[in-house]
Every structure is written in C-alpha cells, then in structure tokens.
Amino acid sequence: MLSLAGQAYAKIGDRAASEHALRAAVQVDPNQFDAYSMLGQLYVSERRIDDAIAEFTMLTQKQPNPVAAYTMLGVLLKAQNKLGPAQEKYQRALDLNPDAAVAANNLAWMYIETGGNLDVAMGLAKKAKAKLPDRADISDTLGWIYYKKGLYDLAVPTLLESAGKDPRNPVYRYHLGAAYVAVGEKTKARQAFEAALAGGRRFSNADDARRALDKLKG
C-alpha cells in the first residue's frame, strides 16, 4: 500500500509525499522492487543522488538492520555507474539478510554486466526467484544467466515466463528471441525480435535485435 501510495503521489506531482511513502515502503519491506526503482528515478530526476547517498549512508550507521539502506545505496551507485561500490552495497545487504531478493537480483544482474562469475550470479538469481517467484524481472535475470551459461533448455521457459508477465518489455522479448535462436526455433525467434522492436521501441539491445532479425530474414 505504501508503494502504491508513492506511485499515486508521483502521478499528481507531489514528490515529497511520494518520496516519504516510498522510503517507508522499503523500510517496512526491503523486497519492494518497484519502490526502489521509483525512488531511484525520483533522485535522478531531481539531481539529488549525492545527497541521497549521504543520507542512506548515515542510515546504515544508525539502523540496527539497514538492509533497505544498503540496497538503496546499491541502486543509487549503479545509477552513477559506480559498479564496484554498488556491488559492495548489495553484498552488504545480503550479508545482513540472505533473503534480500532485490539485492540478490540486482547483484546477479551486475555480475552479468561485468563478466563476473555466472555460477555465483545464478545462485543469487535463484535465491531471488525463490523469494519472489512472480517477478518478471527476476525471471529475466535468471533466464539470461541460463542463456549465458549455454543452458538453453532452461533459458527458454524462464525467459518465456518473464515475457509473458510483461509482454511490453522489449528487453525481455529480445532475450527470449536470443534463446529461441539458440535452440533452433527460428520462427519464434523472429516473432520475439519483431515484438521487441514493434513501434520503434528504444532499448539497450535494439541494434542487436535488428541485426538478429535481419539475419533470420536473410
């Protein structure tokens, strides 16, 4: 309810109330994915990342179990492209609570991005999925790790799950298409890439999706 309230306040332009509600949400439940994301977007849009980092750092020293504070620091440092420090904060959150699903998922994704140990990443993603099995973003993280490890028969159903839960997300569609290519399902791969690129969507893998689609058509 606090997370929803934060979203509602943001829609009517009450940023202060939105921030208050979202911060309360992650404090009550450190596994509130959407609240972290909305808070991060708020701080970025207001150019308050440095101030937020200082404040959440102070909270880690004052709170008895600052899982949410360390997780939020990971989000903020990642937004500044400070990957090493971000990974450290996510790990600190997990040291405090091994079931911290947001920290586990985000750290797993960073291992993918930085060429880290995929076995460690897979363990983290599995832990996150066990805690929050219905999150499309967690399924995508785990499925993409399966793909990176060459476990394509596991990657396809996991990525299909994430794309089914959030069909408008082009990254999920691109990942699914890549997995279909790996198992020889060219028609399904083409459909996935076309869905990812529908409407001229812009996303990080758009150029890769176009090249893959052109190759399938050729």
Checking if the pLDDT of 182 tops 90, the result is yes
Q: What's the Cα-to-Cα distance from 97 to each of 14, 90, 135, 205, rounded to whole Å?
A: 33, 11, 19, 33
Checking if the pLDDT of 9 tops 70, the result is no
> pTM of the predicted model, to two decimals?
0.85
Q: What's the Cα-to-Cα distance from 113 to each of 16, 56, 95, 106, rounded to whole Å?
A: 33, 25, 22, 11
Could you tell me the residue range of the domain that residue 116 belongs to? 1-124
pLDDT attached to residue 5: 78
**Cα separation of 178 and 201, whole Å?**
17
Say yes or no: 107 and 41 in one domain: yes
Checking if the pLDDT of 11 tops 80, the result is no
pLDDT attached to residue 33: 65
Of 65, 96, 124, the position where a domain reaches its end is: 124
- Cβ distance 145 to 121 under 8 Å? yes
**Averaged pLDDT, 179-194:** 97
Question: At which residue do the structure tokens 């980092």 appear?
Answer: 53
Say yes or no: 139 and 87 in one domain: no
Q: For residue 161, give the CATH number of its domain.
A: 1.25.40.10
Domain tally, the chain: 2
**In 3D, which of 69, 88, 68 has the Cα closest to residue 78?**
88
Summarize pLDDT for 99-158 with one digit per residue, the tens: 999 999 999 999 999 999 999 999 999 999 999 999 999 999 999 999 999 999 999 999
Residue 209 within any structural domain of the chain: yes
